[in-house]
Amino acid sequence: MTALTIWSEGKPRMSEHPRLGGIDTVPADRWLDAVPRARARDQRTRGAGWTGFAGVIMIMIGAFNAVEGMAGLLTDDFYVVSPSDVLVFDLTGWGWVHTVVGVLAALTGVALLTGASWARVVTVVLVMLNAVAQLAFVAVYPVWSLIVITLGVVVIWAVIVHGDDDGPDDLDRV
């Protein structure tokens, strides 16, 4: 079967269009299938970008938490608050919490960048735990805690809204 030729007399071919590339080389009985395939490919590319963004931000959040935790563990006078301002644990306990959550968040960010599907679920759980920890730690560093919580909300949005857009290309098998 021959390929469908569209506008070959001096006019632009569909392959020159960024979203409809290759439509003029599709077999004549399948040329309508190329448009949804091009849109799906564009959507997956956008989703992969957001998942990559979430992975990088998770590595950043993990590094921030690890540094925050290690500072609390290694230096007794780093956090300047009274013991009554700290919720649930003492500052050493919060140092361990931030260090462990930070290391896990950084590792999960690396897993997001590699495309591991389990990393999306673990990312949401870790970001929620981190938000609770930061909320309990807000008396010590209020602005910093709010910044980390905001970054976490953006990561959850990126993973939940765009996380399934970077899956395998099922439409190319049609």
The 3-state DSSP composition of the chain as helix, strand, coil percent (nearest 5) reads 75, 0, 25
Q: Residue 64 corresponds to which tokens in the numbers above?
A: 């921030």
Mean pLDDT of 86-111: 85
pLDDT at 9 over 80: no
Mean pLDDT of 93-104: 89
Per residue in 115-144, pLDDT tens?
888 999 999 999 999 999 888 878 778 888
pLDDT at 56 over 90: yes
The residue ranges of every structural domain in the chain are 47-164
Q: Residue 25 corresponds to which tokens in the numbers above?
A: 């080389």
Q: What is the pLDDT of residue 108?
A: 95
